[in-house]
Amino acid sequence: MKERIRDLALGWGVDDVGFASVCDYRSPNSPSIESLFPGARSMIVMAFRELAACESSSPQMAMSARLDLMEFSRSACYRMGRFVEGTLGSPAMTVPVGYPMDFNTPGKIGVGEVSLRHAAVAAGLGTFGRHNLVVHPRFGTRVIFTAILTKLELAPDVPVEINSCTDCGLCVSNCPAGALDDAGKTEVRKCLGKSQPFGMGANIAFWSRYGDATRDEQKAMLQSPEYLSLYQAGSIGYQYYCFRCFSVCPIGLRN
Ligand code: B12
Ligand code: SF4
Ligand code: SF4
């Protein structure tokens, strides 16, 4: 059955597929899989390579390609969920690329329902690198993940034993926010300031100033480049302006 699932996904253009037992998924800050999907036994984790657009000095080029990849990976994830339920006859839940997230529960901000990095590690798709991202043994850092939770009992793949991260430090020295200075920890606020400059923090700041502004100032604010950028980020979803730690890692790069 595993080979059927793997071949199907690879046939769609997914770059790699790994299988994990729910028992081997250990993400200390995330809810348990049992609390999300009682009776789930296995995770099917899919890896999708990012194109070289993430290297572009244009954040628009980089984000456009990410949007395309998100769309493709979401669609492959949902299709796999439908295959597991419809053809293999077992209930499935999908874990797409990232959002939506829970912003209502204290302590859960910045924590996905399922940590796809920990799922990828459990499914033999890589190891944590110095940048706290998962490095795939063949494709390096430039991969994103999705997963399907299922009640099917699927034999787990063997975890990757050799960490491809050489500790060269390029991800740390190239981070414009200094968010990776402490090993094993990404400083979320620092990263967010650079990677999502028109995200939630910027929105709150903008609308706070708007509330205090005069009528004429408000009109000018709504025609400013700042507001147009906020509007664009809000209407297309989160918009990333930084891919540095993701793109500078030399492991597995295409020539
Ligand atoms: C919220 C989020 C963020 C937050 C980070 C919050 C956080 N502390 O994790 C912010 C906005 C900062 C962020 C930034 C980025 N993100 Co992000 N993000 C997510 C999201 C939606 C949830 C992550 C989560 O649940 N974190 C909370 C828990 C799980 O983290 P934690 O237990 O505290 O673990 C942290 C550390 O303890 C450490 N860690 C944990 N265990 C271990 C073990 C070892 C050995 C080591 C060394 C470290 C380590 O790593 C974690 C990072 O701080 C995931 C999608 C998903 N559902 O998983 C994508 C995800 C993690 N992001 C991703 C990416 C690519 C990025 C960015 C490059 C942005 C971009 N342009 O794409 C940057 C990279 C920042 C970095 N170097 O860490 C990818 C990672 C792919 C990969 N190859 O690993 C994911 C998996 C999305 C996806 N579908 O593929 N992200
Ligand atoms: S995405 Fe950019 S700001 Fe965030 S940790 Fe990576 S290099 Fe630093
Ligand atoms: S850039 Fe260097 S230190 Fe950072 S994850 Fe890649 S190999 Fe490891």
pLDDT (tens digit, 9 = 90+) per residue, 10-66?
999 999 999 999 999 999 889 999 999 999 999 999 999 999 999 999 999 999 999
For the CA of 174, the closest atom of ligand 2 is 7
Q: What is the pLDDT of residue 253?
A: 86
Nearest CA owner, ligand 3 atom 6: 249
Do 124 and 232 belong to one domain?
no
Give the pLDDT band (50/70/90) at residue 237: confident
Cα 140 to ligand 2 centroid, rounded to whole Å: 17
Do 125 and 214 belong to one domain?
no
For ligand 2, whether the C-beta of 172 sits within 6 Å is no
Cα 101 to ligand 3 centroid, rounded to whole Å: 28
Do 128 and 8 belong to one domain?
yes
Q: What is the pLDDT of residue 191?
A: 96
Do 203 and 145 belong to one domain?
no
For ligand 1, whether the C-beta of 163 sits within 6 Å is no
Average pLDDT over residues 131-142: 97
Mutate-to-test residue for ligand 1 from 186, 245, 247, highest number of ligand atoms within 8 A of CB: 186
Examine residue 91 and state whether it is found in any structural domain, yes or no: yes
What percent of the chain has a predicted confidence (pLDDT) above 70?
A: 100
Examine residue 214 and state whether it is found in any structural domain, yes or no: yes
Do 98 and 208 belong to one domain?
no
For ligand 1, whether the C-beta of 28 sits within 6 Å is yes
For ligand 3, whether the C-beta of 230 sits within 6 Å is no
Give the pLDDT band (50/70/90) at residue 171: very high
The answer to whether residue 6 scores a pLDDT higher than 90 is yes
Q: Give 67-73 contacts, CB < 8 A, sequence gap 24+.
A: 67/236, 67/237, 69/144, 70/97, 70/98, 70/144, 72/13, 72/48, 73/46, 73/48, 73/97, 73/144, 73/146
Domain that holds residue 95: 2-150
Examine residue 164 and state whether it is found in any structural domain, yes or no: no
Cα 45 to ligand 3 centroid, rounded to whole Å: 23
Contact indicator for 140, 127 with CB cutoff of 8 Å: no
Q: What is the pLDDT of residue 172?
A: 98
Nearest CA owner, ligand 2 atom 2: 242
Do 15 and 137 belong to one domain?
yes
**Any idea which ligand is nearest the CA of 166?**
3
Q: What is the pLDDT of residue 236?
A: 84
Examine residue 247 and state whether it is found in any structural domain, yes or no: no
The answer to whether residue 158 scores a pLDDT higher than 90 is yes
Do 229 and 112 belong to one domain?
no
For ligand 3, whether the C-beta of 122 sits within 6 Å is no
Do 43 and 126 belong to one domain?
yes
Nearest to 45 by CA among 156, 129, 138: 156
For ligand 2, whether the C-beta of 180 sits within 6 Å is yes
The answer to whether residue 178 scores a pLDDT higher than 80 is yes
Domain count, the chain: 2
